[in-house]
Amino acid sequence: MTSHPVLRVPASLLREEVRRLQAELEVTPAFPAEVEEAAARAAQAPRLPELDRTDLPLVTIDPEGARDLDQALHVARDGDGWVVHYAIADVAAFVSPGDPVDVEANHRGETLYGAEGKVPLHPPAISEDAASLLPDRVRPALLWTIRLGPDGERVDADVRRALVRSREQLTYEEAQRRVDAGEGPETLARLAEVGPLRLAREAARGGVSLPLPEQEVVVDGHRWHLEHRARLPVEDWNAQVSLLTGYAAAAMMVYGRVGILRTLPPADPRDVQRLHRTARALGIEWPAELLYPDFVRSLDPTRPEHAAMVVACTRLLRGSGYTAFDGELPEQPLHAALAAEYAHVTAPLRRLVDRYASEVCVALCAGVEVPAWVHAALPELPGTMRRSGRVASAYERGVLDLVEAGVLRDRVGEEMTGVVVEVDDNKPHRGQVVVAGPAVEARIEGESPLPLGEEMQVRLVEADVSARRVRFAPA
């Protein structure tokens, strides 16, 4: 059994510090009484569609213990191609424009995640029960039907309201195990065909996804520890189905000249040149003719110098946002990293914008007018999501920072082995270091320039739980 460094502070203190972080950011898991009451009423009386597709053997694939299940999947052969059915939780079946749940969701913007300190977008009566695509429950959903050709390219797409029923809730690990073992359901085998094809299409298009290992807080009773977890292939395949749906939604909205896109401007050539210099500093070959997306795909994040390069590449993802339009198309509609027009529609339980974008797509496919409440909300949505995105980033980082400090609190003065993954361009004696043992990424400061991408001995000089601060120095 693998052992992990556990918190050297009581779990109760950690939870208290999480609550303090929530107070600082002015967020809370609790909902006002009128919002809870409205959610309870809505959960008992959803607006149900006439179309019944409970015949589809859908499954969900999510992290262990997830209750807010936005998506359920079915993939089948369709001649020499495939048909993908992707059911998305229909939040609008429970939430009405201007009701207490809607007003609160527009205030929150998105669900915040951090160990046991989740701050949900919607009350659990909706997000973890009545609207969630839990197994063996009949649920209202937005059912996407997307047909793919032999090469995995999208042929056509449609979305409409339907009743669905998921057959099974799978974790990523269980889904991967079944794929590897050749076990059912058949959807997993077909996903293992479609996923790699969609990844190949992404590469051919010039899109790129950064292979960042995830740093996560693992909670086991009163014990908390940190892990770096590499993504499983099934996660990438599942993500490709979500992206596929987002591309289809964006195409619909651009054609209909109304909606909201997830956008990222093209990279500044100076930032790309800086990455070339970083690659040289790390000793990684980057031929002049090799485009940035292909270079990223060549990296192996299990190698320290390559992991540092992947972290450096995140610079090109800064500046993403949302662009709403109604009548006139935006000047810059693309998501540069994906090399395509793209929209968020697959996580409405956890992200506000998805509900509005989905309503646009349902209306366009039905040939009816987009609801007036959607038109009215579009101008303000990018700002709402920008604000909630800043809070979400601060919350996730804050929880990780305090857990890291808790793990290391009694180890101040110890020497450890780490890898410098980032160096401040203006102050090269400052940067970020990853220590593998407790899976910590933290600030490091020295007297001389830090060796980017190199393994080195470091000394822990500070681990302050209340300040949520960890700091290393070269040993």
Confidence at residue 454, expressed as pLDDT on a 0 to 100 scale: 83
Which of 376, 404, 432 terminates a domain? The answer is 404
Closest by CA position to 329, among listed 260, 271, 408: 260
Confidence at residue 194, expressed as pLDDT on a 0 to 100 scale: 98
Residues 302 and 326 in one domain: no
Residues 275 and 250 in one domain: no
Residues 379 and 344 in one domain: yes
Residues 300 and 427 in one domain: no
Residue 261 is assigned to a structural domain of this protein:
no
Q: 417: domain CATH number?
A: 2.40.50.140
Confidence at residue 3, expressed as pLDDT on a 0 to 100 scale: 47
Peptide bond preceding 57 in cis form (omega within 30 of 0): no
Q: Give start and end residues of each alpha helix (H) in 182-232.
A: 186-205
Q: How far does Cα 463 stand from its chain's mean position?
A: 29
Confidence at residue 180, expressed as pLDDT on a 0 to 100 scale: 96
Residues 99 and 200 in one domain: yes
What residues pair up with 462 in beta bridges, in sequence order?
A: 471
Per-residue tokens: 216: 């996560």
Residue 451 is assigned to a structural domain of this protein:
yes
| 304: helix, strand or coil | helix
- Quote the number of domains for the chain: 3
Which of 404, 432, 463 terminates a domain? The answer is 404
Residues 48 and 115 in one domain: yes
| Full-model pTM | 0.90
Residues 132 and 180 in one domain: yes
Q: Give start and end residues of each alpha helix (H) in 67-185.
A: 100-108, 124-125, 172-181
Can you give the residue range of the structural domain that contains 430?
412-474
Residue 342 is assigned to a structural domain of this protein:
yes
Residue 134 is assigned to a structural domain of this protein:
yes
Confidence at residue 222, expressed as pLDDT on a 0 to 100 scale: 65
Which of 351, 370, 404 terminates a domain? The answer is 404
**DSSP character for 268?**
P
Residue 467 is assigned to a structural domain of this protein:
yes
Residue 1 is assigned to a structural domain of this protein:
no
Residues 16 and 54 in one domain: yes
Tell me if 271 sits within 8 A of 315, measured CB to CB.
Answer: yes
Residues 148 and 104 in one domain: yes
Residue 6 is assigned to a structural domain of this protein:
no
Residues 331 and 303 in one domain: no
Q: Which residues contact 228 (CB under 8 A, 6 or more apart)?
A: 213, 214, 215, 434, 436, 439
Tell me if 88 sits within 8 A of 355, measured CB to CB.
Answer: no
Tell me if 113 sits within 8 A of 55, measured CB to CB.
Answer: no
Confidence at residue 1, expressed as pLDDT on a 0 to 100 scale: 37
Residue 2 is assigned to a structural domain of this protein:
no
Burial 58-84 (b: 16+ CB within 10 A, else e): bbbbbeeeeebbbbbbbbeeeeebbbb
| 474: helix, strand or coil | strand
Confidence at residue 221, expressed as pLDDT on a 0 to 100 scale: 65
Residues 179 and 292 in one domain: no
User: In which residue ranges of the chain is pLDDT below 70?
Assistant: 1-9, 116, 212-216, 218-229, 437
Residues 50 and 130 in one domain: yes
